[in-house]
Amino acid sequence: MHRSFFALALASAAITPAFAQADVIGSGISPSAATHSQTRPINFAATAPTSGALVILMRNATLPANVVDAPTAQALNAAIASAKFEGKEGSSLSLRGIGNYARIVLSGVGEEGDRVTHIRNASGKAAQDLRDEGQAITITGGLNSEEAAAAALGYAMGQYRFDRYKTVDRKTPPTNPVTIISSEAGSAEALWKSRHSALAEGVSLSRDLAAEPANVIYPETFVERVRAAFGNTANVKIEVLDEPMMRKLGMGSLMGVGQGSRRPSRLMIVEYRGAGDGAPLAMVGKGITFDTGGTSLKPGAGMWEMKADMSGAASIMGAVLSLAKSKASVNVVGVAALAENMPGGNAQRPGDVVRTMSGKTIEILNTDAEGRLVMADANEYVITHKKPAALVNMATLTGAIVSALNDEYAGLFSRDDKLAAAVTAAGTATGEDVWRMPLHKNYLDDMKSDIADIKNVVEGGGPGAGLGATFVGFFVDKNVPWAHLDIAGVNWADRSGPVTPKGASGWGVQLLDTLARNWK
């Protein structure tokens, strides 16, 4: 009798740890405690050093005045003539063994187009080309304060890297400073610190969130990471709705997407007020931290990219961070609709009907059309509780927009011509181009459900991007100026661009920052 009881007690003790593990989500082991490798600090000066690595920004084949001494200029002019270098935008010529410089890079910005943008791009490209250069770097070229600040922004965005998980043969890039030369160095530095450095920080936040694996960034940790980024920034209010709060509000559309996951959904609202009591510009982003497709499971090939299916929400948070940290005279509210779309015994099914907080009903025909579902409740919430002057949605919504526009443009849908023009202008100014797509009245008829108010897809094909935008707009009051940006083709860079190293692009942070500053 006593021996049996003792044996039972031992057996119970042996299995207790297994029961304790039942509440652990994931492995419980972080893949890394490291941070990204340090980037080069950015400085400003009125005069250039005579050694190290030198980047000269050139409009044409003529060297800018007084950037190097006479013997070095003579040698550079000979090299320019020999290489037939013309300073065209995007071109470059790398030289070694001239003067006391370890390396000189002539980088073309051209004579046509937006010089400030070309300077930003040339500096970003230089940051990538000189990543492993073991010298201090100088950028010069007769720059005024605005141009010098743009050069700093380009360099900051171009030198971004995501390497915290590298452990084998990890090479730490040099961290010698980069110095931007301008006769207006003081005002250039002030502009960099007051505005552009915050913009670079916002882009980096978006890229980090999208690049992190889904076992690191999920709804709860997305919230934590964004909270940490804002810190104690003035005039910022952060609200987070958890699942009990969303159930109380009747957010069945958002809650339904995450019900198959053990990681609970969240709605994060970050409000920045820098312009009194006026109505804010609202920005609502899709925040699917991983998208398997749910019950309507995606193919396995390429599914890893779905860790970045929250890029819309990430870039909105990056834009609000930029505006708040630069103390912009605007009122904005950024909303991240956060969920993980997983299959499982509790996952929603094709054929289910869900209800949004306004009482509208949705028939789910495909659980892989989930981004529009989380944004339905998020749109209704922000319109009801924040009374915005206008609303912009941003989402990696459809593969159809990739087929239509590839990675050259994001798709723009809007019912308001003024807002559409403002979004287009902001995209042109920042190099984040958009192309306006149609919202035909028949699309809404196509999405009518036999048993609910609307269905989340039209089976059998059709204009997928337009239908998706139509669905999202169905949950926006007709009196609210509204635009939707489908960024599925531009949120991830398969190859490096001038200011975008390969990987998560942070697309939209610059556009939304500019839009908010100029929106009236």
For 184, 414, 420, 462, 472, the CA distances from 444, given in Å and listed in that order, are 55, 14, 20, 12, 11
> How far apart are the C-alpha atoms of 71 and 99, rounded to whole Å?
8
247 is catalytic: no
The closest of 184, 173, 123 to 153, measured between CA atoms, is 123
Pair 218, 248: CB distance under 8 Å: no
Q: Please, how many CA atoms are within 13 Å of residue 237, restricted to the half-sphere of its CB?
A: 8
The dihedrals phi and psi of 388, each to the nearest 5 degrees, come to: -70, 155
d(CA 372, CA 488): 13
Greatest pairwise CA separation for the chain in angstroms: 102
Assigned token pair, 4: 């049996």
- 298 catalytic? Reply is yes
Catalytic one of 88, 298, 327, 386? 298
Half-sphere exposure of 401 (CA within 13 A, CB side): 29
Instruction: Select from 94, 176, 185 the least CA-distant residue to 142.
Output: 185
Kindly report each contact of residues 89-93 with a partner whose C-beta sits within 8 Å and lies 24 or more positions away, as own/partner. 89/113, 89/118, 89/121, 89/122, 90/121, 90/122, 90/125, 90/498, 92/122, 92/125, 92/126, 92/129
Q: Which residues are catalytic?
A: 298, 372
